[in-house]
Structure 1
């Protein structure tokens, strides 16, 4: 029987309070995050990690002192493995997890994949929208790890899937559930959906990273699905969260959009559009910090949509992406448009622009 290894990528998160500072160091020591030569980047990463660790520990304290991301990613991996093996009886699919900034790292996962001895490998980032700072960094890291141990099975990577029907269907279903609850609780109140994504420094986008463009495509696809279901009694805005440091970031910020909603007297339904799993940016930033901010401003109603998690439509979409990746004739494939470049050609840092 043919054997296929599927490696799902995610950011990772500290598994204990003492892991917070080294996790932060790994994050800021990534050249995709801080583009400085070593040893300068190493020194800057050490400084930032030490300075931010106390604040970050307080954030993770809200979640029991650790990130829930690995546990939730394991649930997604198990669900994906189940549907893959249910549909394709001629292939043994085994789904592995590789985190970028905390365990299990790519080196550890690559060794496990080599023990499995697959006939082919499909790399599947759990980031629907491509960025050099997320999927790009994870794919590069995996290539280095695989090369170090001589893992040379044919490998194809899905770079992105911002409008994948399964992903969009799952987001739409999550939004519909919350919209229905808000309508019942606040009859006649105007509603605004805030589609929130993790922010990036503007210079990264200006350098040709397609992330913001893909986020906008995701939002448009979600609106099309909602409108097709007869849900159009709301307006919307795209915003960005998690800004750090003094540099200019893409906007508008979620703080600005919450302030505008307060001034307009509308109910807010916050939808995380670039996260597929719950973690600190959803359970602490969105559920606690921004909710408190909204209440202080007098926002009439603040609700938050769950991430897609193991929603059946999302897992089904991932299954389709794996099969697509296995059929792909290129090293990196777009889940949005088969083997052609999905992003505009101005996005010179698109994964397919150099493949």
Structure 2
């Protein structure tokens, strides 16, 4: 059987414009896995209030982080795809690697058609979400299952559900933290900020929060940190209901009054730098911390296409063909 790898990340607008952002957000926020309100209630709110008013604001945020080569998420994801492909080739493994996004382009459907054209009849699906959530990983599975409903000949496939406690992943994170400390000096606190989900999702069985805390525990142990030297928080909440706590932005404001004036911040749930890391964490939350009396703030970049990250991705894939 010829095997191919399907990498999947969340997605990004094609341009930092209100029109492109609106198109992207419309697809993203229409996903029932992301917002599970009744469509009769949600669609009028989405199209009548959120998209018209939020799209121009989000477009300005994208403009502040947009790279010359394009969207940071897309640029990094393409680099990851290329690096993983080279690593497999150098190991003597003939396995095409294609990139897709849950929302926007390249779509999961177009990536599957690319694999079919290459003669692939076994697919290893790797959602680039270290911690499983129904709002991200499960959405990838939903799309894949919907595509397969139209196939006469189903390919064999392996779905990598999560890798939140994978040793290679933890080591790669630790390498990244140590590199930052070597450059800037070790800070009073390592704050691990994860994208949040509604608390209700966790109450209904979503293991995301538990997996985030497990990642933090393993990373702290790998770095030899004491309990007072690290903390887990959750960012990017949306709407009025309670999300996983503590919230990153509120924590930033409180830390200086607790005597924590120098912090390093890492976002382990993001495999590639994007709007949420480059603007929300690296800029917005830094301002909250410094305005509250903080003295030193360092954002530690996502693993991106770091060699240790690519090695981990290769190990995950190779375990599925052993």
- Regarding TM over 0.5, the answer is yes
Superposition pairs for residues 1-355 of structure 1, below 5 Å?
Answer: 2-16=1-15, 17=17, 18-38=19-39, 40-47=41-48, 48-64=50-66, 67-87=71-91, 89=92, 91-150=93-152, 152-183=154-185, 191-227=188-224, 235-266=229-260, 267-327=262-322
Question: Would the aligned equivalents of 2:220 and 2:230 in 1 still touch at CA under 8 Å?
Answer: no
2:305 alignment partner, SS class: coil
- What SS class does the counterpart of residue 84 from structure 2 fall into? helix
List runs of 5+ in structure 1 lacking aligned partners.
185-189, 328-355
Deviations 1:275-320 (A, max 9, x none): 1101001111111111111121110111111111112222111111
Give, in angstroms, the shift of residue 136 of structure 1. 0.7
Structure-2 residue corresponding to 1:334: none
Describe the superposition over 1:125-163 as per-residue Cα deviations: whole angstroms up to 9, x where unpaired: 100000010011012112212333546210110000001
Flag the 1:151–1:169 CA change in 2: closer, same or farther, 3 A: farther
The Cα offsets for residues 33-67 of structure 1, whole Å up to 9 and x where unpaired, read as: 12134454443432322231121111101023863
Alignment partners' CA distance in 2, 1:233 and 1:218:
14
Deviations 1:150-178 (A, max 9, x none): 46210110000001112111110111122
Between the aligned partners of 1:205 and 1:166, the Cα distance in structure 2 is: 27
Aligned length: 316
Deviation at 1:3, TM superposition (A): 2.3
Check whether the contact 1:174–1:305 (CA below 8 A) recurs between aligned residues.
yes
CA distance in 1, matches of 2:184, 2:87: 33
What CA RMSD, in Å, does the superposition of the two structures yield over aligned residues? Answer: 1.9
Q: Are the counterparts in 2 of residues 127 and 276 from structure 1 also a CA contact under 8 Å?
A: yes
Query: Normalization by structure 1: what TM-score?
Result: 0.84
1:198: how far off? 0.3
Q: How far apart are 1:257 and its partner, in Å?
A: 1.8
Q: Are 2:3 and 2:123, in contact at CA under 8 Å, matched by a contact in 1?
A: yes
Could you tell me which runs of 5 or more consecutive residues in structure 2 were left unpaired when the two chains were aligned. Answer: none
TM-score (norm 2): 0.92
Contact 1:114–1:151 (CA under 8 A) maintained in structure 2: no
- With over 3 angstroms needed to count, the CA separation of the structure-2 counterparts of 1:49 and 1:303, relative to structure 1, is same
Confirm or deny: 8 A CA contact 1:194 1:257 kept in the other structure: no
Task: Tell me the secondary structure at the aligned position of residue 237 of structure 1.
Answer: strand
Cα deviation, 1:250-276, whole Å, max 9, x if unaligned, reads 110112221232112321111111111
In 1, are the aligned partners of 2:254 and 2:292 still within 8 Å (CA)? no
TM-fit CA distance, 1:233: 10
Distance 1:149-1:45 versus aligned 2 partners, 3 A rule: farther
Describe the shift of the 1:150–1:285 C-alpha distance in structure 2 as closer, same or farther (beyond 3 A). Answer: farther
Is the CA contact (8 Å cut-off) linking 1:99 and 1:106 kept in structure 2?
yes
Distance 2:216 2:279 in 1: 23
Superimposed CA distance per residue, residues 82-135 of structure 1 (whole angstroms, 9 cap, x where no aligned partner): 212222x3x421111110111111121121121112131100010000001001
Q: Distance in 1 between matches of 2:319 and 2:90?
A: 17
